[in-house]
Structure 1
């Protein structure tokens, strides 16, 4: 059962706590190797790539328009060091532990990376 709630800040805090414990995060990737990114609901003309701190919560979202995707693990060091640099260069925000209503914190990649220093 999910630990995610309507409190998006608690969900973001859980993202950092769980990912530090497990040393892994999950994004959604399709068979072609394309990672899911969507338009930001918070920032106009911005893109956001969602990530979750556990596989079950990521997999929950692989339905309907996202059915072609599957939860895909990323080692935390690769996520925090490599991916955050690339996403920052591309101007893509990071979505953290979106709940069942696709609500969640959207952060700048460099601010996400700082949480792991």
Structure 2
């Protein structure tokens, strides 16, 4: 298993061209897929994918009511990191059921986006 810093950097690089990540929503800004951590059940994990196709592939079984929704990097940095990060919500990168997945702090992906130059303040 790769470490969280490497996983954060790889995820940041994978969204460089499109400048967005994908999460699952029930069609509004309130019902997003959040799961319990695989490592600490008291932690919540907000799931994101690097492509719409990967997010769509997760829309099965109990998640079949959800659809992929883009989160632009700028919006992630301006809103998501502060709002959810302050609540201690973690990120699950390219989540796949039945596997050990990468869970990181919101700020770790923000740092990776800045350190790799994926995000540049415009």
Partner of 2:33: 36
Moved more, 9-18 or 77-86: 9-18
- Larger Rg belongs to: 2
Correspondence 1:68 to 2:39: no
Report the CA distance between 1:24 and its aligned residue: 0.7
Partner of 1:95: 92
Query: Does the residue aligned with 1:88 lie in a helix, a strand or coil?
Result: helix
Task: State the TM-score, normalizing by the size of structure 2.
Answer: 0.80
- Unmatched runs of 5 consecutive residues or more in structure 2: 115-122
Task: State the TM-score, normalizing by the size of structure 1.
Answer: 0.83
Q: How many residues align?
A: 111
Match of 2:18 among 17, 22, 28: 22
- Unmatched runs of 5 consecutive residues or more in structure 1: 1-6
Structure 1: 4+ residue segments shifted above 4 A: 7-13
